[in-house]
Every structure is written in structure tokens, then in C-alpha cells.
A = this chain, B = another copy of it.
Amino acid sequence: MNILVWNENRHEQKNPKVSEIYPEGIHGAIKDFLTEAGHNVTTATLDEENHGLSDHLLNQTDVLIWWGHLAHDEVKDEWVEKVQQRVLDGMGLLVLHSGHFSKIFKKLMGTSCDLKWREADDKERLWVIDPTHPIVSGLGSYIELKKEEMYGEHFDIPAPDELVFVSWFEGGEVFRSGATYKRGRGKVFYFRPGHETYPTYHNQEIQMVIKNAVNWLKVTQTNQPTYGNREPLEVISKKG
């Protein structure tokens, strides 16, 4: 399938610690393991023209992956609206980590998407809540990450259609760290881990979740719903 990995790509330019972990950027790391899984992967970043996006590119994208953090506000509303329209038309969207505060995620959720957070090398353990879900295929009872940024409840999102993971944090918090939504004819998955200063996207189980997720996110070959004025399908009686 055609996957587009969008990355803000600013931390990688500023922070040697980040560029050491992700020499080709977070987008490059994600591209690598998805390409290896047989997908056709393109990347785009904030500072490219039109943030690396085009109508043509979006139209042929089956699943868009989104990572942003420092510069959500710099993403132009025009492109946020185009991405939203494509989701409603059936493109899958995987929102990663600090993407919880991206314009596109907030627009699709309708809430603040706010949360508690801390950068303190918390251990994180992501427990599987829904063992029927294709997204957890191949995992055991949980994924353990030695060090991650903490995100804590309350997470201001609509109640997920499906709750897939809940995280335990060493510092005492919990978080709904894997949540699915349907919007229009498209599907959305929010997946929490992936702070830029940790090698989270090199973790085999995190990669497994992302690989499962893109398969689940790919639009089903259903027909586009139709809308607007309609003639009756049955005879309507005349009324006084």
C-alpha cells in the first residue's frame, strides 16, 4: 500500500541527541521498517514546500502517519483541511505521540486533546486491553519501554471507538495509549509512544504495532456514501 510518513523534522535539526538516534529523521526510521514490510513509503516534512504535501500525493496515499511537536501552529490550515477531507474520504491516519496536539488530530476529535506530561525517564508499560484487535497481533500481554516521556490522564479525547492499549508509568500515572476512531469513511489510530530523545521507533514491538496499524487503517473497498436531496423510495401519502 502507499504510505506517507509526515514528520515535523525540527528536533532532528536542533538536538544532536535526536539526530544521533534518528540520523535520517523519525520519518526515515519509520520509512525503513515499513519499506522492509513491503510497502511503498514516501516521506514529507514541515519545512518542505507545502509541508511536502500535494493534492496528488494525498490522493494516492492509503495511510498517512503524522509526527509533530514543536511547530503544530506552523502547519497551514489549508493543508490540515485537505488532510481531514482525505480521512473523511477513506485515507487511514496514524497519529503518533506528540501529534495528539496537532491541528489535524484536534480537528478530527473536536476536543482539546490535552493531557498531563513529564520528561523524566519514566518506564512505560503498554498493556493490551483488546486481545481481539489486529493491531496487537503478535504481542504478549504488554510492551515495556525502559525510558519514555510520561503522558497521563485525563486525556481530553472523545471516548475511543476501541481502546487497544493502556499505559502504566513508573511515576504513578496511566494513559489510554492506543485508541481507534472512525471518521467519515476513514479510520484513525492514536498511538502514544515515541518521544524524540528515546529510540522508541527502533523497538521491535513498537514497529510491529505500527505495521499492524497501517494494515488495519487501510480503507476497506466500500462505496463512498452519497448525500443530498433524494426522491422517495416509497409512495408518500397526501396529507391535509
Contacts and interface: CB of A to CB of B under 8 A. Distances in A.
A156 B141 CA distance: 13
A10 to B, nearest CB: 20
A118 B158 contact: no
Contact of A168 (B131, B139, B172, B219): B172
A203 interface: no
Contact of A111 (B137, B184, B230): B184
B237 A170 contact: yes
Contacts of A221: 137-138
Contact of A173 (B127, B156, B161, B183): B127
Contacts of A224: 131
Contact of A161 (B90, B159, B222): B159
Interface string A54-98: 000000000000000000000000000000100010100000000
A128 B114 CA distance: 15
B239 A146 contact: yes
A205 interface: no
A38 interface: no
A152 B115 CA distance: 23
Contact of A223 (B116, B118, B140, B163): B140
Interface string A206-233: 0000000000000111111111111111
Interface in A171-218: 171-174, 176, 181-187
B112 A232 contact: no
Given A159-B161, A181-B158, A173 B223 contact: no
Size category of the binding interface on chain A: 35 or more
Copies of this chain held together in the complex: 4
Question: Chain A: interface secondary structure?
Answer: loop
A232 B171 contact: yes
Contact of A132 (B123, B129, B131, B182): B182
A42 B147 CA distance: 51
Interface of A: 84, 88, 90, 107-112, 114-118, 120-123, 125, 127-134, 136-141, 146-147, 150, 152-154, 156, 158-159, 161-163, 166-174, 176, 181-187, 219-234, 236-239
8 contacts: A109-B110, A128-B154, A128-B222, A147-B239, A156-B227, A163-B163, A170-B234, A174-B174
